[in-house]
Structure 1
Amino acid sequence: MTVHTLITDLQTRGMRLVDPRAGAESRRGGAGPSDHKAVTIDGMTVMVPVHTAPAFDSPYLVEAPDEKGRARILKDGAPLAEAAFPAKPRFTDLSTADGIPYGHIAQLHSRDVLATTVLQTCIRYESRKKTCKFCSIGQSLAAGRTIARKTPAQLAEVAKAAVELDGVKHMVMTTGTPKGPDRGAAVLAESAAAVKAAVDLPIQVQCEPPEDDSWLRRMHEAGADSLGMHLEAVTPEVRAEIMPGKASVPLSKYWDSFEAAVEVFGRGQVSTYILAGLGDTEEAILRTAERLCAIGVYPFVVPFVPISGTPLESRPAPRPEFMARILAPLAQMILASGMRATEIKAGCGRCGACSALSAYEKLGIRP
């Protein structure tokens, strides 16, 4: 089995762990790759579901690591590959002067990415009629594993420590959507400015398209190097069903803001997160990706993961074959448009840990 096929399989089926304590802790709830654990396979660190319904029945079992931190991946009992787990980051052993653990302010994603949700509340999540049905942003807050609002000073303090202690290479700042037309751009701008004043660290900010596109330039001028505005679903029907609140921002607004953002951040420095498996067909996803590539937006397609405690917790993950039929042509499309994951300054696309897309890109790169 090739590495890109194995990663695709693991990210849709999940894996079981003989020793759940190996490496850095797995993540439950919250924003970003929830119910996952980071694992390194053939030099690539990826996020693999471990606390989801598919993972509990996965044919993949990862043995306890040996004294060198290596572990075998078994499929149906047969050895298949070798894996390793990134070590627990040292910055998470620290706390702020007022006693807040650094890990409540930001987390390590993959092996060298610092990630934070600046606002751990969202106007969509607070309403049953408006919530995105895949989202678990409020779970980690309810469990006491994070705080509702991370201040610019706190983010700067933690980012500086993460760079100095753990060699973090870039940072992702996302946010729940607050009330107001900026849709989170204001808090992201002030947060990016504070981090850049403390440490030289590339930053991606992520929010819904602000009503006024001038916020895009304001975030860039504050220190954001790249921008994520996430579609998640690409067709109006699926958007209305899966994320009724977010669907009130029409697709036409996303396309207008994508074009405006590329003018500010540059081709390949604007990205969008697309969750394959919510109901969009592979043809719809690839058609949307083709349009995104044409205007210089990186389409980061990842498999939907059913997260415990959400309305979609019982929805099956997409089949590995479905993902392969999307990712293989998508990688070629991205390369043909002159973009690459490795050239994104910061963010999910550059990290690549939640999808096998970057592995498919490597297959398509000609020397």
Structure 2
Amino acid sequence: MLESDLINDLQTRGMRLVDPRVGNESRRGGAGPSDHKAVTIGETTVMVPVHTAPAFESPYLVEAPDGAGRSRVTRDGAEVAKVRFPSRPRFYDLKTAEGVPYNQIAVLHSRDVLATTVLQTCIRYESRKKTCQFCSIGQSLAAGRTIAHKTPWQLAEVAKAAVELDGVRHMVMTTGTPKGPDRGAAVLAESARAIKAAVDLPIQAQCEPPEDDAWHQRMKDDGVDALGMHLEAVTPEVRTRIMPGKASVPLTKYYSSFEAAVKVFGRGQVSTYILAGLGDSAEEILAMGERLCAMGVYPFVVPFVPISGTPLESHPAPSAEFMASVLRPLGQMIVAAGMRSEDIKAGCGRCGACSALSTYEKLKVPA
């Protein structure tokens, strides 16, 4: 099996651990790749579900590591790969002067990307009638694993330590959507300015499209290098059903904001997150991908992962075959548009750990 296909299969089916304590700390709740563990296959580090319903029934079993720190991955008793788990980051052992653990302010995703949710509250999460049904942003806050608002100075302190102690190479800052027309752009700009004053670290900011496109330039001026504005679903019907609050921002606003942002950040430095498996067909996702590539927006398509405690916890994950039918042609579409993941300055697309998309970009097209 090709590495790209194996990663795709692991990310849709998940994996079972002989010893759940093996390897790095898993992500539970919050924003981003929740209920996952980071695992390195060959030279590629990816996030694989371990705490989801599909993972509990996965055909993939990860054995205890050998003396060299490698673990066998088996399927039906046959070895399919050897993997390694990244070690616990050293900055996790530090606290701020106020006693806040650094890993409640920001965490390591994959091997070299620092990630944080600046505001761990969201206007879309306040009402079950408006919430994005896949979102677990409030879970880690309720469990005491994070704090509600990370100040710019806290973020700068942690980012500097993560670079110096653990070799972090870029940073992702997302946020719950606050009240107000900037939709989070203001707090992201303020945070980026403080981080850049402390350490030279490429930053991606992620928020809903601000009402005023002038915020794109303000964020860039304050140190944001790349911008993510996430569609999640690509058709109006699925958007309204899955995320009724966020769907109040129409696709037309996303398109106009994408165009304005590309003028500021450049082609390939603006991206959007698309969750495959929520109801959009492969053809609909690929049609959106084609439109985004033409605009200079990187379409980061990832498999939907049902997270425990959310309204969609029992929703099935997409099949590996469905994901391959999207990621194979999309990878070639992205290459043809001149927007490889490795050229993104910072963020989810550059990290690539939540999807096999970047590995499909590297596949040669048959002559």
Same fold, TM exceeding 0.5? yes
Tell me if 1:160 matches 2:160.
Answer: yes
Q: Partner of 1:147 in structure 2?
A: 147
Query: 1:120, 1:176 within 8 Å by CA — same for their partners in 2?
Result: yes
Aligned pairs for 1:278-357 within 5 A: 278-357=278-357
Q: Partner of 2:4 in structure 1?
A: 4
- Offset from partner CA, 1:342-366 (integer Å, 9 cap, x none): 0000000000000000000111489
1:12/1:190 CA distance change after superposition, 3 Å: same
Aligned pairs for 1:95-134 within 5 A: 95-134=95-134
Q: Which amino acid aligns with 2:94?
A: L
Q: Which amino acid aligns with 1:6?
A: L
Q: How far is the alpha carbon of 1:21 from its aligned partner?
A: 2.0
Q: Which amino acid aligns with 1:359?
A: T
Q: Partner of 1:52 in structure 2?
A: 52
- Following TM superposition, the consecutive aligned residue runs of length 4 or more in structure 1 with deviations greater than 4 angstroms are none
Q: Which amino acid aligns with 2:301?
A: V
Q: How far is the alpha carbon of 1:38 from its aligned partner?
A: 0.2
Q: How far is the alpha carbon of 1:23 from its aligned partner?
A: 2.5
Give distance in 2, aligned partners of 1:186 and 1:194.
Answer: 13
**SS of residue in 1 equivalent to 2:285:** helix
**SS of residue in 2 equivalent to 1:55:** helix
**SS of residue in 2 equivalent to 1:126:** coil
Q: Which amino acid aligns with 2:243?
A: M
**SS of residue in 2 equivalent to 1:138:** helix
Q: Which amino acid aligns with 2:255?
A: W
Aligned pairs for 1:59-208 within 5 A: 59-208=59-208
Unmatched tracts of structure 1, length 5 or more:
none
**SS of residue in 1 equivalent to 2:363:** helix
**SS of residue in 2 equivalent to 1:34:** coil
Q: Partner of 1:243 in structure 2?
A: 243
Q: Which amino acid aligns with 1:274?
A: I
- Offset from partner CA, 1:70-112 (integer Å, 9 cap, x none): 0000112211110000000000000000000000000000010
Aligned pairs for 1:186-265 within 5 A: 186-265=186-265
1:341/1:365 CA distance change after superposition, 3 Å: farther
Q: Which amino acid aligns with 1:355?
A: S
Give distance in 1, aligned partners of 2:76 and 2:308.
Answer: 25
Give distance in 2, aligned partners of 1:20 and 1:362.
Answer: 32
Q: How far is the alpha carbon of 1:19 from its aligned partner?
A: 2.1
Give distance in 1, aligned partners of 2:235 and 2:89.
Answer: 39
Q: What's the % identity of the aligned pairs?
A: 80
Q: How far is the alpha carbon of 1:242 from its aligned partner?
A: 0.1
- Offset from partner CA, 1:113-152 (integer Å, 9 cap, x none): 0000000000001111000000000000000000000000
Give distance in 2, aligned partners of 1:246 and 1:53.
Answer: 26
Tell me if 1:361 matches 2:356.
Answer: no
Q: Which amino acid aligns with 2:280?
A: D
- Offset from partner CA, 1:314-342 (integer Å, 9 cap, x none): 00000000000000000010000111000
Give distance in 2, aligned partners of 1:7 and 1:308.
Answer: 22
Give distance in 2, aligned partners of 1:68 and 1:200.
Answer: 34
Give distance in 1, aligned partners of 2:302 and 2:259.
Answer: 23
Q: Partner of 2:35 in structure 1?
A: 35
**SS of residue in 1 equivalent to 2:362:** helix
Q: How far is the alpha carbon of 1:66 from its aligned partner?
A: 1.4
Calculate the TM-score normalised by the size of structure 1.
0.99
Query: 1:331, 1:364 within 8 Å by CA — same for their partners in 2?
Result: no
Query: 1:335, 1:365 within 8 Å by CA — same for their partners in 2?
Result: no
Higher deviation after alignment, 99-108 or 70-79: 70-79
Give distance in 2, aligned partners of 1:343 and 1:321.
Answer: 28
Give distance in 2, aligned partners of 1:263 and 1:25.
Answer: 39
**RMSD value, Cα:** 0.9
Unmatched tracts of structure 2, length 5 or more:
none
Higher deviation after alignment, 341-350 or 61-70: 61-70
Calculate the TM-score normalised by the size of structure 2.
0.99
Q: Which amino acid aligns with 2:2?
A: T
Q: How far is the alpha carbon of 1:42 from its aligned partner?
A: 1.4
